[in-house]
Structure 1
Amino acid sequence: MKISADHRASPSDEPFQQAWVWLRLLTSGDAKAWDVEGFERWLHASPAHESAFRAAKQQWATLKPVAGAALRRMPDAVAARERGKQERSRDLRNRRAFLAAATGAAAVAGVALVYPPAGLWPAAGEWGADYRTATGEQQALELAPRVKVTLNTQTRIRRQGAGGETTGIELLSGEAAVDIDRPATASGGRPFAVVAGPGRSLAEDGRFEVRNLEGKICVTCIEGSARVEHPLGERRLVAHQQLIYDGGTLGLASTVDPAQASAWRKGELVFNNTRLAEVIAEINRYRPGRVLLMNGSVRDMPVSGSFYIASLSEALSLLQRTYDLKARSLPGGLYVLS
């Protein structure tokens, strides 16, 4: 069958279903070099494949307004996600089995709601956010007297309050900076709280930042002091101190460079002997699409320097030359370094 230029893929089309399998794999973090090569062969094998891959991202974007309602009708969605983590590794060992398992349109829809591809919409646990930022976006909010909250890229928060006043936020994912002016009276003011995961951070004045990525929370005190409360105990941070916690651990305070920690507020990313794999992961938070580092021999190489967020393409070119990598640009904003 001839594919006309205005052909639109539908969820019942086999190429469309295959496109979502490839998109999920390439954005899962489990893709290997041969997966990328296989994707390129599939993509260029037929105009229908290229059309289906473009349509996949466009059509899934239309689910965003209704996905929340769909999830409410799927009480086992979160449990399914945990089961999927265990099953995904086994399924990926057999590409044919993996492709067959995700062939049905209904299966693809359910998977994509729980595993949002390429960050097109929030994951199941992040619905209900009052404020959110897109990839590469930052947003400043005045949520309470004396309090300014700045949201970094890919950040979602929910307001918390009492008596009609906002007393804090819940950081569902991403990164937020809190600036609190000193109270006008010596009696002080009500502390502002940031809940993230199992803990919360509070301050009455000063500046602190909280980052919540994949269940690991990092709290950095820039000015003044902050108190971190956790089921395992309580910590007090003073200026230029940072700690990390998650569901099972509460770290000790360590000294950090506030200029490096807050560089994103000035439009920069600063790295100091950071693993290349971690640098790529950070760039992915700010860049539409996804960068895939397929060369395992350079993943642990140290990177030091600063990059402008507005010029991440130049940063990627520099990393490519520095580590003698090959670069390929693929549809959907995929950029492969191998």
Structure 2
Amino acid sequence: MSDPQRPEQDNARDPLAPFEQALRARVPSREALLAEAKAQTARQQRRKRLAGGALSILLLGGAVWLIDPAWRSEDVLTAIGQRHSLTLADGSQVQLNSASHLRVEQRLRSRQFELLEGEATFSVTHGPKPFIVRSQGVAVRDIGTVFNVRSDSRGVAVAVLEGAVEVSASALSSRQLHGGEQVLASDGAISATTFADSERVTAWQHGKLRFDGTPLRDVIADIQRYRQAPIRLADERLGGLRMSGEYDSAAIESLVNLLPSILPVRIARVADGSVVVSGR
């Protein structure tokens, strides 16, 4: 038989007993606490993943900035006998000679160009990004200037008309040039600095070829830019003959025909259009 006095006795021993149900409603159960702990852990892991992803994006962006990739490029080509002028987005001017190929690269941290073949004069507008022209492993970095770059079988000729540039042919070979100076760079080396005759260097911009005691081998290399079929020396020793004068680049075949009247050579035209220059 139950004791009718027992509840009162239990309440007397445990003064919180009357509040037990109210406390249970306010204090979460063990299962609820465990569920909340798991949910909090999952939220922390998500935040870490998001933070890690953001850090990766920042690191990737920083790496891209340091690498300075080309995100777009445009090729500009001129045909034999054609000249072309273009104005770049920063206001700089480029003039391209006959049979030239220039690649204009859009980069994050620099203004870069690759002269794959031919000749170009660059008039550079100052800006926050370095202005660099590359060709055959040679880099020409503008220091505020107007300069001419010619790239062919002889190497890369750099002539400064105004201002200064830095020419680098390798990590250990570099040279600073100022107005009126020129070099020929190739095979990781840079020639001695010589005087640059600005009128001779830029004669091509006016449709002229100007020679001043120029070796025949160099005359032929310049003529070749204005004709499709090759012109060759039958004897390499003839290449040392020197030639002077100013000639019209639009009448290049007339110049070829004049060679025997200027130098002790004869020319032979072949059916394919090529020309062989031999001694007489």
Is residue 160 of structure 2 the alignment partner of residue 227 of structure 1?
no
Pairs aligned (count)? 205
Q: Give the letter for the 2:149 counterpart.
A: V
Is residue 252 of structure 2 the alignment partner of residue 307 of structure 1?
no
Aligned twin of 1:178: 122
How far residue 224 of structure 1 moved from its aligned partner, in angstroms, is 1.5
Distance 1:206 1:191 in 2: 12
How far residue 300 of structure 1 moved from its aligned partner, in angstroms, is 2.0
Is the partner of 1:313 in helix, strand or coil?
helix
Aligned twin of 1:141: 86
Q: Give the letter for the 2:122 counterpart.
A: V
1:301–1:233: structure 2 CA closer, same or farther, 3 Å change rule?
Answer: closer
1:135–1:224: structure 2 CA closer, same or farther, 3 Å change rule?
Answer: same
How far residue 324 of structure 1 moved from its aligned partner, in angstroms, is 4.8
Instruction: Assess if the C-alpha contact under 8 Å between 1:215 and 1:247 holds in 2.
Output: no
How far residue 146 of structure 1 moved from its aligned partner, in angstroms, is 2.1
Q: Deviations over 1:162-195 (max 9, x none)?
A: 24x97121111221110124x5xxxx64332101
Instruction: Assess if the C-alpha contact under 8 Å between 1:193 and 1:201 holds in 2.
Output: yes
Distance 2:134 2:266 in 1: 42
Aligned twin of 1:217: 156
Q: Deviations over 1:191-219 (max 9, x none)?
A: 32101222311225331011221372111
Distance 2:135 2:236 in 1: 33
Distance 2:237 2:187 in 1: 32
Is residue 275 of structure 2 the alignment partner of residue 335 of structure 1?
yes
1:277–1:143: structure 2 CA closer, same or farther, 3 Å change rule?
Answer: same
Instruction: Assess if the C-alpha contact under 8 Å between 1:160 and 1:166 holds in 2.
Output: no
Identify the structure with the greater helix proportion.
Answer: 1
Aligned twin of 2:98: 153
Aligned twin of 1:203: 142
Is the partner of 1:331 in helix, strand or coil?
coil
Distance 2:154 2:261 in 1: 34
Is the partner of 1:286 in helix, strand or coil?
coil
1:326–1:196: structure 2 CA closer, same or farther, 3 Å change rule?
Answer: closer
Query: Any unmatched runs of 5+ in structure 1?
Result: 1-127
Instruction: Assess if the C-alpha contact under 8 Å between 2:110 and 2:130 holds in 1.
Output: no
Aligned CA RMSD, in angstroms, stands at: 2.5
Larger radius of gyration: 2
Instruction: Assess if the C-alpha contact under 8 Å between 1:232 and 1:249 holds in 2.
Output: no
- TM-score normalized by structure 2? 0.65
Distance 2:162 2:139 in 1: 18
- TM-score normalized by structure 1? 0.55
1:243–1:322: structure 2 CA closer, same or farther, 3 Å change rule?
Answer: closer
Aligned twin of 2:129: 190
Is the partner of 2:256 in helix, strand or coil?
helix
User: 1:241 pairs with 176, 181, 195, which one?
Assistant: 181
> Counterparts of 1:3-14 in structure 2 under 5 Å?
none
